[in-house]
Amino acid sequence: MERKDFLKKGIVGLGAIIALPTAFNACTKEEKTDGSCTLSAPETKGPYPILTPTQLVRSSIIGDRTGVALLMTFTVQDKSNGCTPLSGVLVDVWHCDKDGNYSQYGSYTSANFLRGRQTTDSNGNVSFISIFPGWYTGRAPHIHLEVLSSSGTSLLATQIAFPESVYNAVYATTDYNGTPDTTNSEDNLFADSLSLNMADSVIGNTTDGYTLLKTITVS
């Protein structure tokens, strides 16, 4: 699917009144590839892993949630094959809403917002239209991601961190809950692997939204 067609189809019918990032053109393969062949940091999937991934194959994962727009583009590469792009694998993504709530759990067991699955293209790329996640007690802001083979075997589960300057700008807006109680350096999960967990780039602003790029390296 052409990128412009993906964006058009993903935007139609979102329902939430949010602005989409203006920096779509920054999402080229060359800019997403940083030349690193270091394995991405393996992290826990819990405590709110995706429960029904096969039912959530979609480019827009917003559902009925509102917040600052976030376009996430991930490139999956295979370390065992010279870090070449890995096509045809599954990428599951999930994160909390602006208030720190996860779908499929707690008060939202029948909801499926902010969760989705895509299959990587020939360049190892997938994209999701979402909103900037909020935060909850004891964790720095983050996104969960798992890469699986086409048959469903897990290749890597990891988590993605945001630059503090970016999430502080987002959380200063009226829609979010202010400064998180845990910074990146204070987060127990990120403490020993923050450089590997950090998004490759997050560009944009709170009015137009943000674009996140991240290369995920599996073995």
What domains can be seen in the chain, in order of their start residue? 3-27+56-218 (2.60.130.10)
Contact 178, 109 (CB under 8 A): no
Q: Find the mean pLDDT for residues 147-168.
A: 98
- Measured CA to CA in angstroms, residue 136 lies from 93, 100, 108, 183 at distances of 18, 5, 16, 11
Q: Per-residue pLDDT tens for 64-87?
A: 999 999 999 999 999 999 999 999
Task: Report the chain's C-alpha Rg in angstroms.
Answer: 16
Instruction: Give the confidence band of 36 by pLDDT, cuts at 50, 70, 90.
Output: low
pLDDT higher than 50, residue 31: no
Residue type, 170: V
Tell me the CA end-to-end span of the chain in Å, nearest whole number. 27
Mean pLDDT rounded to a whole number for the chain? 88
d(CA 5, CA 197): 30
pLDDT of residue 16: 38
Instruction: Give the alpha-carbon dihedral of 72, 75, 79, 82, to 10 degrees.
Output: -150
pTM of the model: 0.85
CA distance 187 to 159: 12
Instruction: Find the mean pLDDT for residues 51-55.
Output: 94
What strands, in cross-sheet order, belong to the sheet with 154-161? 115-119, 90-94, 142-148, 154-161
Which range is least confidently modeled, 6-10, 46-50, 55-59, 191-195?
Answer: 6-10
- Compute the residue count for the chain: 219
Is the pLDDT assigned to residue 7 strictly greater than 70?
Answer: no
- Interval 44-58 mean pLDDT: 95
The residues near 171 (Cβ < 8 Å, ≥ 6 apart) are 134, 135, 177, 178, 179, 180
In the predicted structure, residue 118 carries a pLDDT above the cut 90: yes
